[in-house]
Every structure is written in structure tokens, then in C-alpha cells.
Chains A and B, each alone.
Chain A
């Protein structure tokens, strides 16, 4: 498992986390290149279907990034995202799929370092978790 490199799909909100990721780049923060970022307008626009499709197709982890509670550009999108993800995680718990592959993080536009640290940490944790078992499940 030494050479396992997890693949992370990230859905980042335009106003905070995506801009935070941009700041991580412009300030030359180093983080592992295991992440594929998908630019969303709001974490509240991330339907469960995006997360599940990524996981079923074999992504090892999904990161959803939004504004801190109270800071949503659209007022309440991140609160809705939080509910949706809590529901999804409970469903996955019930059917025996590790919810640890789904990370919800509040990272603001000024927190470039936090973004880099989050990705670094997530890659470490996913390495411990090993590859997503769905990767080889032809029936899914």
C-alpha cells in the first residue's frame, strides 16, 4: 500500500474555498497533487449525486469546501450543504460505506494555508484508509 496515491475530487465554492485554493497557489503553499477541483458557485449547490457519483466511480475521497457558517455569499447555502451531507453520511453509514471519505470543510478566501493543510491532512488520512473499495465493484 506504500505507493497508493489517493484521488480526491473536491467541490469548492466560488466565494470562499475556491478562492482560498487560489490563494494557496499564489502564496506558493505546498500541498500534494492528489486533488481534482471542481468549481461550484456554492457548497449548497453540491447535490448528493455529485458526491456519490464520484465515490462510486472510484474517487478515494470527496472534499466539499464552503464558506464558514454565517459567511455564505448566498446567506444559507452552506447550512443546507451541512444538512445534506449529514443525511448522506448517515445513509452511507447504514449501508456500510465509510463516511470518512467525505470531508466537509469551511475554508475562507483568506485561508490559503488552511486549504493546503486540509488537502495534506486528507491525503494522509485516505492513505491510512486505503483505496476506495468501490473502485473494483463492477456491480455498482
Chain B
């Protein structure tokens, strides 16, 4: 469980209570800069905002149920070179797990970073969220509706909308490895919010008079998280089973991917695909005209642009071991291909083969960067 405190929510306004908490963190120099979702001036969207001046904190919503950009990428920009100060980053569980993977690929440095994880109520597709806010829900009321499900873990999306497919099957509602966890599950967020702290932060926050920290542990909170996780796993397994029965062979997979326009959006949205230069954007895969003719000649005809199946299979082989299942590839796909389901379903098997859970711990080496002398004889077929 660890140390922490239960924040008393004033005026039934969890947003304001958390804003004051973040104000304390900034003003008392627990963090020198804070990356946090903040309401956009136009419309009701949120975007991650890097805040130095606590005055700019108005309109922040750490629980915003929308994820336009994976913060792990932003955190990479903020830490891969020395920011010269402590950066706090408010993240959801999937973002935290992506950060952990990027640490292992040397794309994020933990030293200047304080990770503030928020229990995740799930997120809507960005397009759905925009529509919902146009229909009249203010950003906070959309969040508020979801918050009602925090206490018992029965999260109900707004009528006529669903959470993102990836969120519906996410087994990690709570950001377990964060330095500071903002706990919503098991509490009535109109009244109480749990702040859990790791390591020396508990003492630091107590000394600076931000929180009176004590040992915290709530069995009802654990039960809510456990039940939610179980439900999600059940749903996940159903989704995987359906996907596997629909893609039994390569022809099925190609049919499923047949509307791919090779826009590379899935790659751009993916927090794990971090290469500065991707082979799919190099001259290696630019071909001369007569080469296309020869390929068409050999097969009778080839789909143009070519290499679509190659693109998806190579992306799988390069990073499926580290896929943390945020599903932003799905959200970024203009043609609604089941990219995330493909990655998660295949990933489940590959990760199991390598006994690896991405996003679990910075101490585990990513499978593509290491090896053991005696392993995988059968799986590789090596003789």
C-alpha cells in the first residue's frame, strides 16, 4: 500500500481540489514544471500542457477522458536531454507503461521526472469526445459523468457513446508504478481522493506541509480495482478470441487490412515506435517502375501501394514485444482497421513466449535488446 493521504474534496469539486494540490506541488517546488491535461481555449478538448506558472493551472483536468497524444512521447522530449529541473507528468496507466518501456530503450530518463499517475476512467475516441462536447457537455461534466462510476468501479460511458476499444479491454485501470498515484477507485470523488506516494516523496510532501502522510490501505479500493480488472480481462479474451477466429489465415488478415492506405498514422501515434528514421520512410522501399512491373508480372497483379502486409508484420516484429496496448494506433487509423487488436492479440502470445510483461518494471530488459545463451531452441527452430 504505502504512504499517502486522503484529500478531502471541498464543495463537491474534485477538479478544484486537485488543482490546489498541483498548485502546491509547483509552488513548493516538489516539481518545477508540470505536464498536465488542460482545457483548450476553444471547444472542450484537452491537451497536455507544460506548466511553469501555477496561475496557468486553471482549467486543468488530470482525469480528462480523452487521450489525443500519448504522453510517453512528450515525456521523451522533456527528459531525453536534461531539462535542468524537476518535471512532473500527469499520466494515465497506459502512458506510464509506455514511459517504462521508453526508459528501457533510453528514450526517457527518470532522474528529472516525477510520474503522477491517475486512476483511469477510460477515454473516448477523440472524434467522439469532440462531438460530445459540441452537443453541450462541458469537458468537466463529461469527466464528471464517468467519475460517478469511480467508487464502485462500474463506469458508464455517456449514452450513445462507448469508450475506446483499447480502454474497454484494458487490464490496468490503476497506474501502479507511479511516484504519486491519484486514486479515484473505491472513493467517492465528490468527497475524497486518495493520494498515494512512493519513496522519499511521502516525507517531502509532509515536510513541505502539502499533505499529512500516513500509511494508507483500503480493501474496498483494492476490490474495486480487482473486479474492474477481471471484467476487462474477460472482455479482452472475448475480443481476442473473436479476432483470432476472424483471422485464421493470412488471407483473412490481408482482407482485414485491405483498406489500409499506408498513411503510417499508427506508427506515428505509437509511443513505442520511436526510431528517428524508419525503414518504411527510407529509399530502401522506394522502387523503380520496372520493379513494380516485374512484381505484377510474377503474381499476375499486385496491390498498390505495395508492401502493406510487410508494413504491418514488420511493425509487429519490431515492437510487438513492447506493445502496452494503449490503442492509439486504432484511434489514429482513418479507416478503422483493427490494428490495436492485432497487436494485442499477437503480442499476448509473443510476450508470453518471452515471459515478458511490457510496462511492468524498468528493471526488466526489453526482449529485443537482450538474449540468453540457452533459450528458444524450439521456438526459433534453430539446429
A positions within 8 Å CB-CB of B: 47-49, 52-53, 56-58, 69-70, 76, 79-80, 82-97, 99, 102-106, 133-140
Contacts and interface: CB of A to CB of B under 8 A. Distances in A.
A90 B353 contact: yes
B282 to A, nearest CB: 11
B375 to A, nearest CB: 8
Contacts of B276: none
B300 interface: yes
B382 A106 contact: yes
Contact of B299 (A90, A95, A136): A136
For B254, B295, B346, B381, which residue has the most chain A Cβ atoms within 10 angstroms?
A: B381
A138 B368 CA distance: 31
Contacts of B298: 57-58, 135
Nearest to B302: A138
A140 B309 contact: yes
B346 A91 contact: yes
Contacts of B381: 85, 89, 99, 102-104
On chain B, which size bracket covers the interface? 35 or more
B7 interface: no
Contacts, number: 133
Name B's interface SS.
helix
A33 B91 CA distance: 58
Most buried by B among A80, A93, A95, A105: A95
B309 A87 contact: no
16 contacts: A47-B279, A48-B318, A49-B279, A52-B317, A57-B295, A57-B298, A76-B371, A79-B373, A86-B353, A87-B367, A89-B381, A90-B350, A95-B250, A104-B381, A105-B382, A137-B254
Given A69-B373, A90-B350, A96-B249, A140 B303 contact: yes
Given A83-B376, A136-B300, A53 B382 contact: no
Contacts of A70: 373
B299 to A, nearest CB: 5
B345 A94 contact: yes
Contacts of B350: 87, 90-91, 94
Interface string B274-311: 00000100000000000000010011111100011110
A133 B250 contact: yes
A64 to B, nearest CB: 9
Contacts of B302: 138
A58 B383 CA distance: 24
Contacts of B353: 86-87, 90
Contact of A91 (B247, B258, B313, B383): B313
A87 B317 contact: yes
B236 to A, nearest CB: 16
Contacts of B251: 133, 137
A76 B375 CA distance: 13
B219 interface: no
Contact of B380 (A48, A83, A93): A83
A91 B376 contact: no
B261 interface: no
A91 B250 contact: no
A84 B368 contact: yes
Interface in B235-262: 244, 247-255, 258
Contacts of B375: 82-83
Interface in B353-383: 353-354, 367-368, 371-373, 375-376, 379-383
B253 A95 contact: yes
B105 to A, nearest CB: 15
B267 interface: no
B196 interface: no
B299 A138 contact: yes
